[in-house]
Structure 1
C-alpha cells in the first residue's frame, strides 16, 4: 500500500490522472451538446414544394403542406433545378404535386400519386428524416381526404358522426406516396458509416505518421542541411499519401464491392486528404512541439461532428457549421458519398481539398523558414567579422 501511495504522489501519475479526467470530460462536452442538434435543428433543413397541378385541389394541398411542414420551403424552383439542388445536397427532398392530381382525385375509383424525390447519398439523419416525413405526410393527407369525402357523404345519409368517422377510417388510401430514391446506399450500416470511417482512419494514420516522421526529419536535418531535408520530407510525404490509403480502401472494397471508378475516385480523394492531414498535423507540431498531439485531440473530436457524416451542416449548431468548411475531413466525407453512392459537386470538392493541402503546405514552409532560420547565429550590427583561422605553416 505504501508503494501504491508513493506512485500516486508521483508527478507523472498525477499528470496522467489529470489528463484522464480532462479528455473524458472534453469528449463528452463536445459530443453530447453537439448531437443535441438532432432533432432540435431538423426544421433548418430545406424541402422544395412544387405544385404542377392546374386544379384547385393541388393548390389546397400545397398550401396545407406549406403550413404544416416544419422545414424551410423552396416553392419557386422548377423540377429540373430542384433535382440539381437535391443532387448537390443543397435541398433534402422534393415534394411534387403532379399535373393530373385534381383530375385523378375527383375520380372515386382511382388512386393518385404524390411524388417525393430523396437523395439517399446523404448523412444518415437527413435521409431517414425525409423518409419518415413521406409516411407522415401521406397518412395525414389520406385521413384528411377520407374525412372530407366519405364522412360528409355518410352524414348526409343520416349516419351518426362517430359511426361515419369509423367508416371513413376504413376507406382505402386515396393518395399513394411515389418515392423516387436517387443514389441508393447498399444495405448495411457499414456502408452508411463508410464516408465517416474512411476519412477518420486516414486522419488518424496521418497524425501518427507525422509525429514519427518529424523525429526522423530532425535527425537527418544535420546531415542533409535545412532545406534539402525539408524538401526530401515533403517528397516522402507525397509518396506516403499516395500509397498509404490503399490499405484502408482495400479492406472496405473487399467487404463491399464497388466499381473501379469508385475505387480510383476514393483513392484520389484520400490521397489528397492524407497529404492535407500530414501538413495540417505538421503545423501543430511545429507550433506546439510534442504538445501538438494533445492539441489535436479536441480538434479531432470537433471534426467528428463538423465533417457532416452524421448530420447535414444545416442541422449543426453555428459553431460546428462554421468549422465544417475549415476541417480537413469535411471534403473527403462528401467525396466518399459521391464516389461510393453518387452525388454532385465532385469537382468543386476535389479542388477545395487540393487547395486546403496547398495552403497547409505553404504554412509549413513559412513555419520551417521562421523557426529554423532564427536559430542561425548572425553577427551583431557593426561587429567586426571573425578573423580567419590561422593556416598551418608549410
Structure 2
C-alpha cells in the first residue's frame, strides 16, 4: 500500500490536486473573512422610509424613535413612493402612519402599516421582521403619550397635568405588515444562490476541460480558430445548460413570477457571461489560470447579494461587485423568480460584461500570436 501511495504522490496531477484544494482554503478564507468582517458595522446602510400622513402626529416623535434604530431613516411623501423604492431595493422597509392615526388611536383602532419586499436575500426579511416589533412598541409608546395627552385635555385637565399623566396610560396600537412578492418556500428563497453557484462552478470546470482540449490541439489549428470555436461552444452550451436548470426550477419550485422563456434566456446570458469571463485567465495562463477563476468565484459568491445584501459590505467589496456579472445575475433572477422591476438593466450589464470579456479574450489571443511570431523570427535568425 505504501508503494501505491508513493506512486500516486509521484504523479504531478496528484500534487496539483492537493495544491488546488489548499488554494481553495486560502482564497476563500482571505476573501470571505475580510469581506464579512465589516457586515455588522454596516447595518446603518439599510434604509427605512417613514411616510407620515397624519397632520396631528408630531414629526419629533418619529425622529426620536428613529434615533434608537441602527438604520438610515428617510422620509417619503406617499406610500406609493415608498413602494416604488422598495421594488427597486433602494429601501428595505417602509413605515406608514396613516391619516387620522391620532384620532383612531383614541379608540384603540390605530394601525401602523409596514411594507417589506421579500424579493431580496433572506437576511433582509428576517432583519426587518425583527425590527417591526421593536418599532411598533416605540411608536406605540410615543403615540399613546400624544393621544392620551389630547384626551385628558379634552376632559378639562390642564395641559401640564395631561403631559404628566399621559406617559402612565397606555393605549395599544396594532401593526400590519404588507409583504411585496412574498416567498413562502425556503427552497425558492435560496434558488438564486443555487443558480449562481451551479452556473459559475459549472462554467469553471467546463472552461478548464476546454482548455485541456485546446492544449491537445496545439499545432493542429491556429489560435484564432481555436478561440472562435471556444466562443461558439460557449454560446451553444449556455442555452443547453440553462435549459436544464430552468426545467428543474419550474418542476421543483413554486410561485415563479417570470415565464419559462424569460428565465431560460436570462440564465443563458448569465452562463455565457461566466464562460466568457472564466476563459480569459485560462487563455492567458493555461490551466494555472484556475487560481484566478477561483478568486473571482469567491468574490462573486460573496458580493453578488445572493446571501448578504451588497450594501452591507465595505466600500471596497461593494465597489468590486459592480464590475462582476454575478451581481446582475442575482438581481435579475430575484426579479424573475420572486417578482420585481423590469430586468432590462441587468440584461444590458450582462451583455456588456460578456462583450468586455470577449474583447479581453481577443486581446490575449492577439498578444500570444505576436509573441509566437517574434519567437519564430528569433529562432529563424539563429538558424
Q: TM-score, normalised by structure 1?
A: 0.82
Match of 1:230 among 221, 227, 239: 227
Measured against aligned partners, the alpha-carbon deviations of 1:117-137 in whole angstroms (never above 9, x if no partner) come to 111101111121111111111
CA distance 1:45–1:6, change in 2 (3 Å) = same
- After superposition, the Cα gap between the structure-2 partners of 1:69 and 1:253, relative to the gap in structure 1 and judged at 3 Å, is same
Deviation at 1:317, TM superposition (A): 1.8
CA contact (8 A) 1:47 1:93 kept: yes
Measured after TM superposition, the shift of residue 34 of structure 1 is 2.7
Taking structure 1 as reference, are residues 346 and 379 closer, same or farther at Cα in structure 2, changes over 3 Å only? closer
The structural deviation recorded for 1:5 is 10
1:136-175 equivalence runs, <5 A: 136-144=134-142, 174-175=172-173
Q: CA deviation at 1:195?
A: 0.8
Please say if 1:34 is aligned against 2:35.
Answer: yes
Give the aligned length.
Answer: 368
Q: 1:258 Cα shift?
A: 4.7
Please tell me whether residue 177 in structure 1 is matched to residue 161 in structure 2. no
Give, in whole Å, the separation in 2 of the partners of 1:216 and 1:118. Answer: 50
Query: Within 2, Cα distance between the matches of 1:62 and 1:354?
Result: 44
The CA deviation at 1:110 is 3.0
Give the aligned partner of residue 64 of structure 1: 64
Match of 2:246 in 1: 249
Distance 1:127 1:51 in 2: 23
For 2:9 and 2:365, how far apart are their aligned partners in 1? 40
Q: Kindly indicate whether the alpha-carbon contact (under 8 Å) linking 2:116 and 2:125 is maintained by their aligned counterparts in 1.
A: yes
Partner of 1:50: 51
**Structure 2: how far apart are the matches of 1:284 and 1:220?**
19
Segments of 5+ residues of structure 1 without an aligned counterpart are 157-163, 385-394
Residue 187 (structure 2) aligns with: 190
Per-residue deviation, residues 210-244 of structure 1 (Å, max 9, x unmatched) = 11123334555644544344323322221111111
Q: Distance in 2 between matches of 1:197 and 1:282?
A: 22
The correspondence of residues 1-394 of structure 1 with structure 2, limited to 5 A, is: 20-55=21-56, 57-105=57-105, 107=106, 109-144=107-142, 174-185=172-183, 187-220=184-217, 222-258=219-255, 261-376=258-373
Deviates more, 1:336-345 or 1:63-72: 63-72
Against the structure 1 CA distance between its residues 102 and 305, is the aligned structure 2 distance closer, same or farther, given a 3 Å change threshold? same
Aligned-partner Cα distance in 1 for 2:176–2:257: 32
Distance in 2 separating the partners of 1:242 and 1:36: 38
Measure, in 2, the Cα distance between the counterparts of 1:339 and 1:9.
48
Aligned counterparts of 2:241 and 2:351: Cα–Cα separation in 1: 17
8 Å contact from structure 1 (residues 145, 174) kept in 2: no
Is the 1:88–1:343 Cα contact (8 Å) retained in structure 2? yes
**CA shift at 1:343, angstroms?**
1.4
CA deviation after TM superposition for structure 1 residue 272, in Å? 0.8
Q: After TM superposition, give the deviation of residue 140 of structure 1 in Å.
A: 2.6
Aligned partner of 2:160 in structure 1 is none
Distance verdict in 2 for CA 1:81–1:324, change over 3 Å: same
Contact 1:50 1:75 survives alignment (8 Å): yes
Q: Distance in 2 between matches of 1:339 and 1:91?
A: 19
Aligned partners of 2:75 and 2:146: how far apart in 1? 26
**How many Å separate the matches in 1 of 2:342 and 2:240?**
26
C-alpha distance in 1 between matches for 2:229 and 2:2? 53
Q: Bigger radius of gyration, 1 or 2?
A: 1
